[in-house]
Amino acid sequence: MTDFTSIPWTKIVKFGQATMLDKNLFSISWILGRFCNYKCSYCWPYANTQIPDHQELEVYLKTMDNIRMQAAGNGYTKFHWSFSGGEPTAYKHFLVLAERTLYDSIHMTTNLSPGIQWWERWLKATEFSRRRSITASFHHEFADEKEFGDKILFLNQNDVFVTVNQVMVPEQFMNLYIRCKRFSERGINVTLKPQSDPTASKVVDGYTEDMIQLMRRGFPQHVREEELLQVKLIDNEDKVWHLDQAERFNAFGFNKFEGWMCNSGYQGIVIRENEVKRSYSCHDQRLGTLSEGFTIFDKPTICTTPSCVSSADSKIPKIKLGKI
């Protein structure tokens, strides 16, 4: 199942990450810092730095405890920790954070630059996690395609769900597509993602209709069905639909939820370095900071943002008011 064009997008009135709709799961999307060991020519200037900018380990550990305590007050006792950057594996204490997730699920977005020995230590640190997943970003200016794929297959063999998330830059579309096809032919999962503008508020121009259709259809996914269908959607006739992941929303233009009731800030938060927010794209005031404290919402609130282009935002459960 990779062709999701039959989903009646205009009739969807409720959706979210399936585990968040069906379980008492709280989601944390955490940018630890902007420090990255790569310096890609096409990276947005705000997204990386060559100077380490991480906080002290004790700050992170106290933050994890604070999140658990506040979320439990809302009835959420299971957690999904998603780490990104910059490059999260470049943080010297990252394995300590990974181990601290205990029996929760853990995810990270990474360039996969560490060697196999480091990944073996990560596997050991996360051996008790309910689920381990990785979004792997291939950067051709620094990474070797075969070595990159070999690491993914090694992780797959150790029960880690890995997806190559390829931002399909319009000017390089076919070259990127051909490389992704090679990954897919090796048995590696690939998601084709439209490029967002520097403010992360909309998808850039330049895609032809053929390009859009290729991103919507994607490649065959080499996973069990329960791993594939991560997002649940309900239409106005109570029929249930499924999608592989929220990354695909932008390709279908399903990313405008202003006026919907949203669980961002209540069932999930984002942390960008020191700042704690409801979601990356949210126009609301921040919830606080790691250094001065933050407060999670005690109930869902109405979305006031014109569009969501980050899957960390769009996967959070939402209900179209007046429809359910």
User: Domains in the chain, ordered, with CATH?
Assistant: 9-319 (3.20.20)
Can you give the pLDDT at residue 324?
45
Can you give the pLDDT at residue 200?
63
Would you call 276 helix, strand, or coil by DSSP? strand
Can you give the pLDDT at residue 223?
65
Cβ neighbours for 281, distance < 8 A, ≥ 6 positions apart: 200, 201, 305, 307, 308, 309, 310, 313
Per-residue pLDDT of the chain (324 residues; tens, 9 = 90+): 556 889 999 999 999 999 999 989 999 999 999 999 998 887 777 778 888 889 999 999 999 999 999 999 999 999 999 999 999 999 999 999 999 999 999 999 999 999 999 999 999 999 999 999 999 999 888 999 999 999 999 999 999 999 998 888 899 999 999 999 999 999 999 988 888 777 666 788 999 999 999 988 888 877 665 566 789 999 999 999 998 888 889 888 899 999 999 999 999 999 998 999 999 888 888 999 999 999 999 999 999 998 888 888 999 999 999 754
Given a contact cutoff of 8 angstroms between Cβ atoms, the answer to whether 40 and 142 are in contact is yes
